[in-house]
Amino acid sequence: MAVNIPGVAVMMFFYLLVLGIGIWASFKSKREAKKGTGDKTEMALLGNRGINLVVGIFTMTATWVGGGFIVGTAEAVYNPSMGLIWAVMPVAATMCFVIGGLFFAEPMRDNKYVTMMDPFQIKYGKVPTAALSLASLISEIMWWLCVPFALTGPAVTDITKTAYNYTFQNPWVGTLEADRAWMWIDNFLLLGLGNLGLQNFHQRTLSAASSSTAKIMCFAAAFIVPTLGIPPILLGAAAASTKGEIQWVIRLSVVVVGLAGTSLTFLDNSVLMIWLLRSDLTYTLMLPQLVCVLFFNISNGYGAVLGCFIGMLLRVLSGEPLLRIPALIKFPGGMEVDGVFIQGAPVRTICMLSALASILLFSYLFSVLFNKDWVPERWDVFNVKAQYSIQTQEEVKSDIKEDIKDETLKEQNENNEACEPMLESAC
């Protein structure tokens, strides 16, 4: 096969451009560090929290619209058993950004966290945070496995004719049968909410110049990302319209990220399945943890560890065909396919909600046990009692500040009323 000289030249130019920008940014960050205008860690990871709105929108969008997003979406449209209806990644990304902008960007940015794991480190300590970091690390490894390339055939039929009509394979729009509806909902929530448990997302919001900039970045990306999902949808539709023998449109090219990451590529040649598996961890394990640590004061290290264990145990017992894990818990609506039980229920959402409930339940239970001295304090390895005391003091201080503020406003109103002249009516 002849080498495409223009294509190689463009790729070389692109990578040299990336290298040049990286070198320039390195020198600039060193100069800023010498001036003492920023923390070195924040400078390296978050751009000294100085990312403006325009750059932030582009970086947030570019984080999602990569090889896995493009080829995974095209694969779903091309796959005869799925089709356009199952290509939910662009729309799910919109839900992720909207919810992230409304609820997660502001508290994360206002508290000046450097990474997604900082709130866990501050509230739970090192041991629970280290355990939770494993799920985040594995998901990041899988992220880099979604870097494939596509091969297309020269003869393509009009995609509008193949959208709803059988030609070389089933129509690329796809179908959604009643018995697969829960699976579709599960995948949608997985790909949408699961991304909120990724460091990639929070690194963009934390690098913003302000909380309002972080929120606007999310809302803008919520519109741009699904728009950029249209080309891979058309690519998948064109692939499904190819004449002759069915072409291999999606092939997996592995970016080696350690032995663990490399071994995963032997399990399946589907980019979409690897993407789902990566989001599986963040959705069922990291999302409930992040929700609890940010929005529930009762959460503590015991609840975090036990909730993670229960969520992971339930997920493993539910089975995963991609990893060849048999289903020991068979939810209603499933079926046997080639001797393998395929769950019909939204098992990932069930596991996520179970983990969330377990975190809150066990956090409350251990909080009661130690704060009421039913269990000796020397056994409190996660310092729940000390955490409760700190929270109580902070709540008291907050109440005092609110009382002082109310009294000040009351005095100001009384003074204003006293200073107003009295009007006399003439008879």
| Residue 288 domain-assigned (yes or no) | yes
What CATH number corresponds to the domain at position 199?
1.20.1730.10
Per-residue pLDDT at 423 = 46
3 state DSSP class of 42 = helix
Per-residue pLDDT at 267 = 47
Total structural domains in the chain?
Answer: 1
Per-residue pLDDT at 35 = 64
Per-residue pLDDT at 245 = 46
At 307, the pLDDT band (50, 70, 90 cuts) reads very high
Per-residue pLDDT at 300 = 92
- Joined together, the tokens standing for residue 274 give 């690897």
Please give, one letter per residue, the 3-state secondary structure of 134-191. Answer: HHHHHHHHHHCCCCCEECCCCCECCHHHHCCCCCCCCCCCCCCCHHHHHHHHHHHHHH
| Residue 410 domain-assigned (yes or no) | no
| Residue 314 domain-assigned (yes or no) | yes
High-pLDDT (> 70) share of the chain, %: 62
Mean pLDDT of 111-124: 85
- Joined together, the tokens standing for residue 356 give 């969330």
Question: Within 10 Å of residue 84's Cβ, how many Cβ atoms?
Answer: 18
Taking 60 as the threshold, does the pLDDT of residue 214 lie above it? yes
Of 64-78, 118-132, 308-322, the one with minimum mean pLDDT is 64-78
- DSSP tag of 210: S
DSSP string, 232-259: HHHHHHHHHTB-SSPP--EE------HH
Residues 151-187 have pLDDT tens digits of: 333 444 555 666 666 666 677 667 778 878 888 888 8
- Of residues 62 and 390, more confidence is placed in 62
| Residue 1 domain-assigned (yes or no) | no
Mean pLDDT of 14-19: 73
* pTM greater than 0.75: no
Average pLDDT, the chain: 74
Mean pLDDT of 335-341: 87
Residue found by looking up tokens 């009382």 in the block: 403
- Kindly give the interhelix angle for 181-193 and 89-99, rounded to the nearest 10 degrees: 50
Q: Which amino acid is at 423?
A: L
CA distance 228 to 155: 25
Per-residue pLDDT at 306 = 93
Mean pLDDT of 350-356: 95
Mean pLDDT of 256-267: 43
Residues 63-87 have pLDDT tens digits of: 777 666 776 777 777 777 777 788 8
| Residue 45 domain-assigned (yes or no) | yes
- Of residues 88 and 235, more confidence is placed in 88
Structural domain range at position 296: 40-333+341-377
Taking 80 as the threshold, does the pLDDT of residue 284 lie above it? yes
